[in-house]
Amino acid sequence: MPIFTILVDVNPTSGDFLYDPSTLRIVNVTAAQIIFSSPHDFAITFLDDTPIGTMVVNSAGGVPTPPFNVTPGASGHYHYAVAMFAAGRVFLDAGCPDIVIN
């Protein structure tokens, strides 16, 4: 079963977010897991629906989340928002990154 990692970061000077990958594409896979990771404390909220069985994910900086199983049969385009605490400030990106499963 493949495990996909999404790295989320923010530049605390500019407030620019970095996602690697910015769009996670999962194609022709019957089972997969997703891990979220960041050097900063973060929370992720899926906006309309979720491919991983939970709408909210969070973790302390430098501690990746446990792997989340992609829901069997999940297919579609899943947007999520990210809040991150870095350099004493909270940063919010409310809808750019996404996960596409087909």
- The predicted structure's pLDDT at residue 96: 76
pLDDT of 23: 96
Domain holding 62: CATH number?
2.60.40.420
Q: Check residue 30 and give its pLDDT.
A: 87
How many domains is the chain partitioned into structurally?
1
Give how far Cα 59 sits from Cα of 1, 51, 82, Å: 23, 18, 12
Ordered mean pLDDT values, 10 residues apiece, the chain (102 residues): 97 97 93 97 96 97 97 95 97 92 94
Dihedral in degrees, nearest 10, Cα atoms 74, 56, 54, 51: 10
Contact between 64 and 35 (Cβ < 8 Å)? yes
Per-residue pLDDT tens over the stretch 10-32: 999 999 999 999 999 999 888 99
pLDDT at 21: 97
pLDDT of residue 92: 97
Q: 23-26 and 56-59 as β-strands: parallel, antiparallel, unpaired?
A: unpaired
The three state secondary structure string of the chain is: CCEEEEEEEECCCCCCEEEECCEEEECCCCCCEEEEECCCEEEEEECCCCCCCCCEEEECCCCCCCCEECCCCCCEEEEEEEEEEECCEEEEECCCCEEEEC
Q: What domain range is 13 assigned to?
A: 3-101
